[in-house]
Amino acid sequence: MPAELLGKSRDELRAYCQALGEPAYRGAQIYHALYAGRRFDFAQMTDLPAELRARLAKEARISLPRVVRRYTSTDGSVRYLLALAAENARPASVEAVFMPSEDRQTICISTQAGCAVDCHFCLTAELGLIRNLSPGEILAQVLLPLEEHTERLAPRTNVVLMGQGEPLLNYDAVMAAVRIMLDTEGVGLSAKHVTLSTSGIVTGMERLAKEAVRPKLAISLSASTDEQRDALMPINRKYPLAKLLEACRRYPLRPWERLTFEYVMLGEVNDSPEDARRVVRLLAHLRAKVNLIPWNPGELPYREPAPERVEEFRRVLAEKGLPVFVRTSRGRDVMAACGQLALIEVVSGQSSVIS
């Protein structure tokens, strides 16, 4: 069985080359060609000797997921439906979304096929967890759209881990992929431009807090009381607001960093001015910003919030000095066909997806 190289770290590739009887630095060359150069065919790795390339072609492989479909939005966003290898005879597919804008592209990626967390406003929840993605499957969702749009890439790339799955419940694979994304010899993205969104897995947040290399953190709040959050996001019973916000207070932010709180506004459910005032109190003393995401009508039994309620909610937060953004929809026409990713929102070049 050929060895899969996509997803391997530099050290793993060095060890792999040494095991082949090659010098370890060949592994670093493969690492750079694969992640910085996006060369997915050994024949293109022309800084390797021809003999080694021929050997790798026989004994190793670089497998990108198969693109089952591309849905292109009128605003230029492309949603990829990607087939992953079946495990235990269970087929799996995920979505990645590429959203171009003038000075950057934002790529939303999935970390699990399906999800076990069961947020009630999320269609992915209905799938349950199918399986965790490997580091290579996570990275491929970044590399593949970048390569496909290579001719017209903007200078900056943002990645948001907000597609299918709860990233902190696939911690090791997610962080292995993130380290390669954030390595200057790897994909070379800035930590300021990679955001991991969690439903509030406190143990995962505590692990992330200790990482030397880590993405920014976004937390799906979406409620202003435990009662409300228990009803919308059952994970709240395990990690209630007090515990979650305590973990947020302890989270070591870098000087340039704020925690992002995503708040899905569901009409007549969690969108009142009282909710807004409670959110202000919950986030007091945190270096935070809030993304308000008005619900888009869809298959689930929720209503779009009235525009005046959204504005009132925004005003209450802003008046108390909380940076707050209302997300307007991007790629909505492709998402309508999606049925998996719940919401993709982009405003003034910043992106956020509810995961």
CB of 316 to ligand SF4, least distance (A): 25
CB of 113 to ligand SF4, least distance (A): 11
- Whether 338 is catalytic is yes
* Cα–Cα distance list, 81 to 75, 98, 113 (Å): 18, 11, 12
Residue that the structure tokens 């959204």 belong to: 310
Q: Which tokens belong to 68? A: 């089952």
Which of 17, 108, 119, 338 is catalytic? The answer is: 338
Shorter beta-carbon distance to ligand SF4: residue 118 or 333: 118
Shorter beta-carbon distance to ligand SF4: residue 119 or 208: 119
The DSSP secondary structure of 4-59, one letter per residue, reads E-TT--HHHHHHHHHHTTS-THHHHHHHIIIIIS---SGGG-TTS-HHHHHHHHHH
Encode 54-64: b = buried (16+ Cβ within 10 Å), e = exposed. Answer: ebbeeebebbb
In this structure, are strands 78-87 and 90-100 parallel, antiparallel, or unpaired?
antiparallel
CB–CB of 290/254 below 8 Å?
Answer: no
**CB 323: neighbour CB atoms within 10 A?**
13
CB of 286 to ligand SF4, least distance (A): 21
CB of 346 to ligand SF4, least distance (A): 18
CB–CB of 164/111 below 8 Å?
Answer: yes
Shorter beta-carbon distance to ligand SF4: residue 119 or 269: 119
Shorter beta-carbon distance to ligand SF4: residue 9 or 220: 220
In this structure, are strands 350-354 and 343-347 parallel, antiparallel, or unpaired?
antiparallel
User: Using N-to-C axis directions, what is the helix angle for 171-181 and 135-148, rounded to 10°?
Assistant: 40
Which of 95, 137, 166, 345 is catalytic? The answer is: 95
CB of 192 to ligand SF4, least distance (A): 23
Residues forming contacts to ligand SF4 in the complex (CB under 6 A) are: 115, 117-119, 122, 124-125, 164-166, 199, 354-355
CB of 160 to ligand SF4, least distance (A): 12
In this structure, are strands 259-265 and 216-220 parallel, antiparallel, or unpaired?
parallel
The DSSP secondary structure of 182-205, one letter per residue, reads T-TTTT---GGGEEEEES--HHHH
Shorter beta-carbon distance to ligand SF4: residue 187 or 290: 290
Shorter beta-carbon distance to ligand SF4: residue 119 or 223: 119
**Angle ∠(228,234,238) on CA atoms, nearest 5:** 110
Q: Which tokens belong to 318? A: 């802003």
Instruction: Give me the helices (H) in 273-327, please.
Output: 273-282, 307-319
Shorter beta-carbon distance to ligand SF4: residue 60 or 130: 130
CA atoms of 39 and 43, how far apart (whole Å): 9
CB of 128 to ligand SF4, least distance (A): 10
Which residues participate in catalysis according to the annotation?
A: 95, 338
